[in-house]
Amino acid sequence: MRHFLITLLLVLFMPSAQAELAVIAHIKNNIGVLSAKQVQDIFMGRTRNFPNGRFALPIDQSSPLRAEFYQKLTGRPVEQVNAYWARIMFTGQASPPQQLPDDEAVLQTVRENEGAIGYINQIRVDKTVRVLLLIN
């Protein structure tokens, strides 16, 4: 009983670790790794290609993971990212990434599209996709 109480207290009072996010691409995309700046440029519409020249199709999530992704990647709250995209769309320069509902939908889309790039919780990564960047 004493061991159980100690374990319970440790779990309750340990700082919670946020999930690490994995930026993923199709397994056949041979670009290796990307920097946070390169990923930011793709997801913010500043570039439409991977460094190897292939077209990049960024995939967003409509889940709460989206806010965490943009906060960690850009240092801005998702509301500022939304305002940025509203301005860009108004000028007709670009369109925001397509939003999918969750990790599984992003995984499936990335598996099916060689140009796709998305993000998921790192614990969901499997051998069917290539990890380009880990964001913590």
Burial class (CB in 10 A: 0-12, 13-18, 19+), 119: buried
What pLDDT does residue 110 have? 98
Q: What is the pLDDT along the chain (136 residues), one digit of tens a residue?
A: 544 333 333 333 433 345 799 999 999 998 889 999 999 999 999 999 999 999 999 999 998 999 999 999 999 999 999 999 999 988 888 899 999 999 999 999 999 999 999 999 999 999 999 999 999 9
pTM for this prediction: 0.84
Spatial CB neighbours of 78, under 8 Å, sequence gap ≥ 6: 66, 67, 70, 71
What pLDDT does residue 5 have? 37
The topology (CATH level 3) of 19-135 is: D-Maltodextrin-Binding Protein; domain 2 (3.40.190)
What pLDDT does residue 1 have? 52
With contact defined as beta carbons under 8 Å apart, do 11 and 41 qualify? no
What pLDDT does residue 84 have? 94
With contact defined as beta carbons under 8 Å apart, do 21 and 68 qualify? yes
What pLDDT does residue 14 have? 38
